[in-house]
Structure 1
Amino acid sequence: MARAWFGSFFPEWNLPSRVVLKKEKKGWEEEFEMEKATYARLRPLQGTVIPKFLGELRCDNTRALLLSDIGGVCLATPEGALLEVADFRRMLYQALTAVSQFRILQEDIKLDNFHHIGDKIMVVDLERVSEEPLSDEQLDLGIKYAVDSLAARYEDNQFCFWEDGLITIDT
């Protein structure tokens, strides 16, 4: 309780040791607002499925979001391409299902927008998400499409990284 009271007067003392500053892209005002709103809607998932939203600030005369650094590895990199595809599918399904409980689907389906951390996958980009309330059927279909699509890209990446000698496959 004392920590919360103290933190309300000196919030900078409660910041994590590593943060991410995500600056608004030129011409992407709507996406910036969407991402802020999505973090608010997904507050219960912050720190477990998505980064923690720490606030908004200005940097070099540009609006920016201050987010927790979740660590892990981007799934589009050789370091992120080491999962068994079945594990990849399971973890991705869990992350997208958690987000969908709030009637939201990630619409920017690319490996760059997901990080592997320990035994889970986290969503790191929330600029482009479904804007309209979706039915259960639409959510289920959206998750299935995303998992199938990303799993195919993930396998393609694994093959390319293996072919380029960037990863090895144990036999």
Structure 2
Amino acid sequence: MEDFEYRFPRRVKFRLGLSTITGLAEPLDRAYPWVFKATLVEGAWHRVVRLWLPSLPTLLQRCVRILWPRYALPSCVVLKKLRGPFVDDGEIVSKTEEFDNEKAMYRRLQSVQGSAVPVFYGEAQCEGRRTLVLSLLAGQTLRNQTQPRLTIEEFTARIEAPIRALQHHGLIYSDNKLSNIMLVDGRIMLVDLEWVEALEPEELDAYCSKVTIPSFIRRYREYLPSADDGAVA
């Protein structure tokens, strides 16, 4: 029987704070079925609360959204479930450590959420697994960018901003795949923070300048000649 995780669209429920939320799950990339878009399903009561909430005092609004986070969520979110154990080279692999690291990095990068990385709304439970609730970026992947594609010079100018934003927080981005890039309103944002890590302050600038940024630029330069084939490394 086909794994239910690969079945789209489907209804999912996730628990975030005191809120149990129903959403319609749709794939972002079928190669990664544990990461998907969820369009929230709201009943009449939820719509009434959303309309009524702005009339409350600011402090009370904040309390409601903390206790019942569904009212702090946009209509669509990204759910990133902890990937189940899998076998690689004959060994069982767990992604729990990477999941915990990604959650910690989002918290550390709170001030640049929404500009350099997605917004992190919290950890939920979905279909029996720990799940990160993230903002859906209204942009394009490099594979789907509209013509004309970014030139090498344009890409170089844009990739530096998010890398330096992480550097400002003492962090490096070491998973330098082009598939981890989104183009949003003319700027580059980074997704998938599993391999973001801290580095000694005296090493940060050199690593970002000589490793991370050149690595992304090299990959993009190699990608452009085959861009019409649709593959992004």
Coarse TM-score class (shorter-chain normalised): 0.7 to 0.9
> How far is the alpha carbon of 1:14 from its aligned partner?
2.1
Partner of residue 18, structure 1: 76
Distance 1:67 1:8 in 2: 16
Query: 2: CA distance between counterparts of 1:6 and 1:107?
Result: 38
| Higher normalized contact order (CA 8 Å, seq sep 6+, divided by chain length) | 1
Q: CA deviation at 1:3?
A: 3.3
Q: How does 1:135-150 map to 2 (within 5 A)?
A: 135-136=201-202, 138-144=203-209, 145-150=211-216
Equivalent position of 1:169 in the other structure: none
Distance 1:92 1:73, change over 3 A: same
- Out of 48, 68, 76, the position equivalent to 2:115 is 48
Runs of 4+ in 1 over 4 A off after TM superposition: none
AA at the equivalent of 1:99: L
Q: TM-score, normalised by structure 1?
A: 0.85
Separation (CA, whole Å) in 2 of partners of 1:14 and 1:58: 17
The equivalent position to 1:29 in structure 2, one of 96, 120, 124, is 96
Q: 1:100 to 1:80 in 2, by over 3 A?
A: farther
- Taking the aligned partners of 2:186 and 2:227, their CA distance within structure 1 comes to 22
Aligned-pair CA distance for 1:70: 1.3
CA contact (8 A) 2:145 2:183 kept: no
Between Structure 1 and Structure 2, which shows a larger proportion of helix residues?
1
Report the TM-score when normalising by structure 2.
0.64
Residue equivalent to 1:127:
194
1:30 deviates by 0.5
Q: Structure 1 residue 41: deviation in Å?
A: 0.6
RMSD, aligned CA: 1.9
Q: Contact conserved, 1:20 with 1:67, CA < 8 A, in 2?
A: yes
Distance 2:141 2:200 in 1: 28
Match for residue 108 of structure 1?
Answer: 175
- 1:131-170 matches, cutoff 5 A: 131=198, 133-136=199-202, 138-144=203-209, 145-162=211-228, 164=229
Q: Comparing both structures, which one devotes a greater share of its residues to strand?
A: 2
Displacement of 1:147: 1.6
* Contact 1:72 1:116 (C-alpha < 8 Å) held by counterparts: yes
Tell me the residue number matched to 2:145: 79
Shift of 1:73: 1.4
TM superposition shift of 1:10: 3.2
What secondary structure does 1:109 align onto? coil
CA–CA distance in structure 1, aligned partners of residues 130 and 66 of structure 2: 23
User: Which amino acid in 1 is paired with 2:200?
Assistant: L
Of the two, which has the highest radius of gyration? 2
Q: Identity rate of aligned residues, in percent?
A: 32
5+ long unaligned stretches in structure 2? 1-57, 86-93
